[in-house]
């Protein structure tokens, strides 16, 4: 298996991230997504804020020479969280686990939190393989599902 690599996000990555965001199945699984994934102006504004915020750690995931997703760490609800997005065509190859593992090795901030829709078994599994444990539950409105969705709150202590 090729190994996923991380590098800093660059402007050229954004068009690929936008394509990933347009995938209906990915949006359903992620649950908590943009109101309108096809709104390129909102997408660009969102990523401009991310790129200009030095407190957000942002990495592009490269696999086999291709940009396949991203991993982020940011402040939310008073805690440091991580999130990731891998393009659906790359699911099931261990890329998310490898990328998140590398990302976690590169940052020393602990504890870290993550959130995943309760029915997003694959994402929960990735997080657990990387040492996260389910510590709580929450729910929120999902734009992609047009309903309230239950989620797990996971924590990485070490």
What's the pTM? 0.93
Q: Residue 23 has what pLDDT?
A: 94
Backbone angles phi, psi at 34, to 5 degrees: -60, 150
CA proximity to 132, closest of 85, 83, 94:
83
Q: Which is nearest to 72 in space by CA: 81, 13, 121, 130?
A: 81
**Is the pLDDT at 2 greater than 80, yes or no?**
no
Rounded average pLDDT over 136-152: 95
Average pLDDT over residues 152-156: 98
- Residue-wise pLDDT tens digits, 22-47: 999 998 999 888 889 999 999 999 99
Residue 80 in this model has a pLDDT that exceeds 60? yes
Helix (H, G, I), strand (E, B) or coil at 153: strand
- Let me know if domain 5-156 sits in CATH 3.40.630.30: yes
Confidence of residue 3 (pLDDT cuts 50, 70, 90): confident
In the predicted structure, residue 73 carries a pLDDT above the cut 60: yes
Is the per-residue pLDDT at 1 higher than 60?
A: no
pLDDT at 61: 98
pLDDT tens-digit series, residues 87-108 = 999 999 999 999 999 999 999 9
Residue 132 has pLDDT above 70, yes or no: yes
Provide the sign of the torsion angle of the four alpha carbons 143, 12, 2, 105, taken in this order.
negative
């Amino acid at each position: 298996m090729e190994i996923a690599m991380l590098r800093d996000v660059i402007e050229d990555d954004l068009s690929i991230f936008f394509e990933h965001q347009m995938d209906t199945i990915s949006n359903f699984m992620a649950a908590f997504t943009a109101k309108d994934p096809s709104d390129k102006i909102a997408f660009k504004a969102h990523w401009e804020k991310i790129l200009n915020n030095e407190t957000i750690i942002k990495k592009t995931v490269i696999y086999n020479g291709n940009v396949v997703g991203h991993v982020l760490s940011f402040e939310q609800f008073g805690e440091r969280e991580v999130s990731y997005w891998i393009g659906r065509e790359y699911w099931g190859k261990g890329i998310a686990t490898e990328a998140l593992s590398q990302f976690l090795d590169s940052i020393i901030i602990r504890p870290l939190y993550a959130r995943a829709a309760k029915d997003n078994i694959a994402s929960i599994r990735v997080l657990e393989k990387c040492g996260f444990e389910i510590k709580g539950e929450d729910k929120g409105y999902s734009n992609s599902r047009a309903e309230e969705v239950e989620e797990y709150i996971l924590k990485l202590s070490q």
